[in-house]
Amino acid sequence: MLSSLLAPFFEVFGKIALDDATQIHRNNNFHSFFAAVLVLFRSATGEAWQEIMLSCSDREDVRCDPLSDDYKRDREARCGLSFAYPYFISFFMLCSFLVCLFLYLMVVL
C-alpha cells in the first residue's frame, strides 16, 4: 500500500528542483524512497503540509530539477501540478480519519 501511495509522488513531484526558500529542499523532497516517506509522514502529522502542497503545485516559482527530462527539453518549464491540491488534501484527510478511527477503537476496545 505504501508503494502505491508513493508511486505518484516519485513520478510527479520527484522532478521538482530543490530550493531552500520553499518546503522542497535537500532535507524534504521526493527524490528517494526514504525522503518521500519522511515528507509523507510530515504531511500526515500536519507539519507544514499546506506549504509542502504549495511547493508542489503549479506555480511560476516551482521549477524542474536540472537532471529531469522536462528541464532538458525546456529550461523554463514548471514541474508543479494542479493535481497537488486534491492529492495532499485527500491524503491529509485520510490520515486524520485513520488516526481518529484508531484512537476511537483503542478507547472502546
Q: Give dist(CA 75, CA 62) in Å, integer.
A: 12
User: Rounded to two decimals, what is the model's pTM?
Assistant: 0.79
**Grid cell of 66 as nine digits:** 536540472
In the chain, what percentage of residues exceed pLDDT 90? 20
Task: Dump pLDDT digits (tens) for 77-86.
Answer: 777 888 889 9
For residue 14, the one-letter residue type is G
15 vs 98: which has the higher pLDDT: 98
What sign has the CA pseudo-torsion 59, 63, 68, 72?
A: positive
Q: Which of 57, 77, 54 is nearest to 65 (CA)?
A: 77
Q: Which of 103, 5, 88 is nearest to 42 (CA)?
A: 88
Task: Dump pLDDT digits (tens) for 28-71.
Answer: 888 888 888 888 888 888 888 999 998 888 888 877 877 766 66
For the chain, give every domain's residue range. Answer: 2-108
Per-residue pLDDT band at 89 (split at 50, 70, 90): very high
Q: Give dist(CA 81, CA 25) in Å, integer.
A: 18
